[in-house]
Structure 1
Amino acid sequence: MGQLQINEQLRAVLFQLREVNPGSYVHLLLDGNHPCADDDELHITRLKKRDIPAEAVLVPRADFAHDPAICPALVTLYSPGDRGYPDEALLDLSIAHAWYRRDSINGSYVCGWLVSESPAHQVAKHLAPACELFDVTRGCRRVLPLFEPHRLSLIADAGRESFLRRWIGPVSHWMWLDMKGDLRSLAASDLADGVPGKDHLSQRHWQAQQRVANARVVAVAMADAGHMLPVYPETTIDSSLQRAAALGLQRTEDLVFFALNDFSFSRAWSSHPAAATAIRQALQGEQTLSELMCRLTDDTLEEIAATREAGPTLFGDSDGH
């Protein structure tokens, strides 16, 4: 699916939601921590200068209180009673920008499109404290920017419905593009109400969030290698990184190389005796995993590649995605 198809798909979804509930707003969420260029038409400082000025409502992240310019911001694209979108070009621009930055190693500037009966300032008032969560891996509360598409995809795929229902608060529908460019969405009506003990994030979820930076490097490496991203790319890539970490690999280069091999060969490649030996040697830290693998003979590498038939499907993982 390309940018044009995504544009049509999102517009169709938003049209239907507005028809069902004409009292809803459509807000665009931008992330000042992953900004676009200063001369970009979608840069927050240029929104007020458009032919139809757009007002950006800041979401005051607690950890960025010293610099409001890098906080997220909500821009209202549609208000109840509007005939269509007052600034059609702005909606198109947001979709194009989201598509262009969908797999950027620098993160997404366009985080999503939010439908809510609440105006932007009320949604912002909810989102700011909603991102302050207790990190069980550190034993303290801290800001987790779950509004970032990559991070939100991980939690959505993890099935944390009760948590997400509380987290999105006044937002009835939250839509975003994942790294592959697929349109993802959360609908409050589809999320379960609060269940005791299941409205928080566990250690496993926090650890997945900590692997986001390495996952972005893997996605770039896959693109450079000519591999298409899998369906549910954030969760599938994280599954490979989790396996690498479970084997003791810690260097970013080793983690990325391990994950890339999962997609170049299969998840069974690491069980080959020669590959397993290389992994153990990499744990000693003297040589990287890629250096050790490059020392193997062509015949051995062909054997490792042949494990594809014995292993799971190329993009399979334990969750069935």
Structure 2
Amino acid sequence: MNSDALIELVATHLSLELYCHVLVDPIAVPDNSEDSLITHLAPLGESALIRVYRDDLPHAPQLHPLLATLASPGTSPSHSLLALSARAAQRDIHRHNRHVCGWILSKEPAPVIAKHLAALCRLPTNTSNTVFQPIYQPIRLELLAATFERVESGPWWPIKHWIFQTSGAKLAAVKGEPGARTALPAPALRLQSDVALIQRFLSLWQALRIAPSLPPFAAVRASNLIDDARKVGLSAPQDVLVLAVHYLCIHPRLHTLPAIRRHIEDAINQHITLAASFARYSEADWRHMVTKLPRPEEHA
């Protein structure tokens, strides 16, 4: 992602009747930091800035996300402000909490969008209650969007286009359609609860340098591998994480090997961690074990 790519994408989606807003989370970067985008948005004036209410932080309004209007219908956003926000988003890629939570294009002004975003964050639970989840955070948004068979059927409207930086540092957008709101898919809340584990996975993935960069929707891939690790019976987060990373680095059918299956059973029944069991194997051992398995693409 770079500034020119963002400016071009916004220009592509921004029609005359739409506002252009940018959403910024102050929790990620202190207001007094030189990396804070909020300081640079202040000259827009108070009328262009509104907070998105967080149910879980009622007594700390300074920590509520800030929605800033960059352009009103019939006008274009400042290229310098878009470029500034793009650079701030680029600095976000190694943060667990992103500072820049996307660029929102809508017919509605900021107060309406702020209220809508606050409502989106109230996810239903199995007990008919709701729980606050900051789904405006880009990784959370990426995971939520992935639960819908058709992304457009998600609860985005009156947001027409929500442009954001994915977990793989690429620009993507969810598109809202009027009247297209469907029930929240069953995995949605569970995925939001998994975000901390997914972020740990992504940090390890980056550190391992398996490829020059992560794939565009790396968080979705990480979530799928974590699900695969749970399907073999693991529940302890560290064991799940260890097996999921080995699925990524070594082979997605690793659990079918008798020796690995025994280690999984030990982790489940005797609480011997997979990390301790796997530590005995050298790179040569792993390479030898993989020769007993079909090529990964044969299981696609």
In 2, the alpha carbon distance for the partners of 1:34 and 1:143 equals 18
Aligned counterpart in structure 2 of residue 27 of structure 1, from 15, 21, 24: 21
CA shift, 1:300, in A, is: 3.9
Matched, 1:263 2:263: no
Matched, 1:223 2:215: no
Match of 1:72, as an amino acid?
P
Distance change in 2, residues 1:31/1:294 (3 Å) = same
Matched, 1:122 2:112: yes
In 1, the alpha carbon distance for the partners of 2:225 and 2:179 equals 29
CA shift, 1:122, in A, is: 1.6
Residue 39 of structure 1 aligns with which residue? 33
Residue 144 of structure 1 aligns with which residue? 133
Q: Find the residue that maps to 2:93 and give its secondary structure.
A: coil
In 2, the alpha carbon distance for the partners of 1:79 and 1:11 equals 16
Residue 66 of structure 2 aligns with which residue? 73
Distance change in 2, residues 1:252/1:271 (3 Å) = same
What per-residue deviation string (whole Å, max 9, x for no partner) do you get for residues 259-306 of structure 1? Answer: 111111120122211111111112245432111011246664223333
What per-residue deviation string (whole Å, max 9, x for no partner) do you get for residues 185-233 of structure 1? Answer: 11224x8724xxx42231x222222111111111111111112323421
Aligned counterpart in structure 1 of residue 7 of structure 2, from 8, 11, 24: 11
Match of 2:77, as an amino acid?
Y
Q: 1:102·1:108 contact (CA, 8 Å) conserved in 2?
A: yes
Q: Find the residue that maps to 2:123 and give its secondary structure.
A: strand
Q: 2:169·2:216 contact (CA, 8 Å) conserved in 1?
A: no
Distance change in 2, residues 1:247/1:221 (3 Å) = same
Q: 1:171·1:188 contact (CA, 8 Å) conserved in 2?
A: yes
Distance change in 2, residues 1:40/1:250 (3 Å) = farther
Distance change in 2, residues 1:68/1:263 (3 Å) = same
Match of 1:71, as an amino acid?
H
Residue 180 of structure 2 aligns with which residue? 193
The 5-angstrom pairing of residues 240-251 of structure 1 reads: 240-251=225-236
Q: Find the residue that maps to 2:238 and give its secondary structure.
A: helix
What per-residue deviation string (whole Å, max 9, x for no partner) do you get for residues 53-108 of structure 1? Answer: 574310112222121122111011122343x434x33211211222221353x221
Distance change in 2, residues 1:120/1:308 (3 Å) = farther
Match of 2:230, as an amino acid?
A
Matched, 1:107 2:90: no
Matched, 1:272 2:257: yes
CA shift, 1:253, in A, is: 2.4
CA shift, 1:110, in A, is: 0.7
Q: 2:21·2:68 contact (CA, 8 Å) conserved in 1?
A: yes
Distance change in 2, residues 1:122/1:192 (3 Å) = closer
Residue 82 of structure 2 aligns with which residue? 91
Match of 2:121, as an amino acid?
C
Match of 1:254, as an amino acid?
D
Distance change in 2, residues 1:231/1:271 (3 Å) = farther
In 1, the alpha carbon distance for the partners of 2:61 and 2:120 equals 17
Matched, 1:182 2:175: no
Q: 2:167·2:216 contact (CA, 8 Å) conserved in 1?
A: no
Distance change in 2, residues 1:166/1:297 (3 Å) = closer
In 2, the alpha carbon distance for the partners of 1:219 and 1:166 equals 25
- Normalised by the length of structure 2, the TM-score is 0.87
Structure 1: 5+ residue runs without aligned partners?
Answer: none
Q: 1:36·1:43 contact (CA, 8 Å) conserved in 2?
A: no
Match of 1:58, as an amino acid?
R
Q: 2:155·2:176 contact (CA, 8 Å) conserved in 1?
A: no
Q: Find the residue that maps to 2:183 and give its secondary structure.
A: coil
In the comparison of the two structures, how many residue pairs are matched? 297
Distance change in 2, residues 1:259/1:13 (3 Å) = same
